[in-house]
């Protein structure tokens, strides 16, 4: 990155609950040059890798995963909160640093042998990413890599994804 991404990440204390520091990427999205550099950096990292589809968990992961899928000429798999996808789904529960949640994807989003990149804006505890990986693998897909814009090192997310290839553009 030609500019420090850190200055475009807003730290919001006590959101969504007391004791959590939320890392807001909105300022980076508002700056066209920074947004372009983020997308281009992810593309450079993934270009030429054996990836058939990009999966992302709503909502900020969608922003970058859809751009990456477009640039790579591959499919995009949206993973959403329960009840948000319109067709038959499978779901996976997981723990967050501030509670529990679940994600769903359409049952036909992944075919056996599909090589999938999971992309999200932030790696915290790894719960969401691990749940996304389990969903893909349950449908016969292969998780090639998990990629993130930001990794919060102190929360141990990388440790919770042991045995998987993890990439992050920047770490806090």
Helix spans in the chain (H):
26-30, 32-46, 60-72, 127-138
Give bridge partners of residue 138 from the DSSP assignment: none
Annotated catalytic residue within 97, 115, 134, 164: 97
Crossing angle of helices 32-46 and 60-72, in 10° steps, is 60
164 has catalytic annotation: no
What is the chain's pLDDT, residue by residue, as a tens digit (172 residues)?
Answer: 445 878 999 999 999 889 888 999 999 999 999 999 999 999 999 999 999 999 999 999 999 999 999 999 999 999 999 999 999 999 999 987 667 899 999 999 999 999 999 999 999 989 999 999 999 999 999 999 999 999 999 989 999 999 999 999 999 8
DSSP of 91-115, one letter per residue? Answer: EEEEEETTEEEEEEEETTS--TT-E
Helix (H, G, I), strand (E, B), or coil: what is residue 161?
helix
Neighbours of 19 (CB within 10 A): 8
Residue 80 is classified by DSSP as B
Query: Do the beta carbons of residue 66 and residue 78 sit within 8 Å?
Result: no
Shortest CA distance to 57 belongs to which of 132, 130, 158?
132
Tokens found for residue 69: 């899928």
60 has catalytic annotation: yes
Whole-prediction pTM: 0.93
35 sits in the region (left: phi over 0; alpha: psi -120 to 50; else beta) called: alpha
pLDDT at 2: 47
Annotated catalytic residue within 23, 60, 115, 164: 60
Q: What domains, with CATH codes, occur in the chain?
A: 39-171 (3.40.50.2020)
């Amino acid at each position: 990155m030609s500019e420090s991404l850190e200055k475009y990440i807003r730290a919001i204390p006590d959101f969504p609950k007391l004791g959590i520091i939320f890392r807001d990427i909105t300022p980076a999205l508002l700056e066209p040059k920074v947004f372009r550099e983020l997308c281009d950096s992810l593309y450079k990292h993934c270009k030429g890798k054996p990836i058939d589809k990009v999966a992302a968990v709503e909502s900020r992961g969608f922003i970058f995963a859809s751009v990456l899928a477009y640039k790579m000429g591959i499919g995009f798999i949206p993973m959403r909160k329960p009840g948000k996808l319109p067709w038959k789904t499978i779901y996976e529960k997981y723990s967050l640093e501030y509670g529990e949640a679940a994600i769903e994807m359409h049952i036909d989003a992944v075919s056996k042998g599909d090589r999938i990149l999971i992309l999200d804006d932030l790696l915290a505890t790894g719960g969401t990413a691990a749940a996304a990986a389990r969903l893909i693998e349950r449908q016969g897909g292969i998780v090639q890599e998990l990629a993130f814009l930001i990794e919060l090192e102190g929360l141990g997310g990388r440790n919770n994804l042991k045995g998987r290839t993890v990439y992050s553009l920047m770490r806090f």
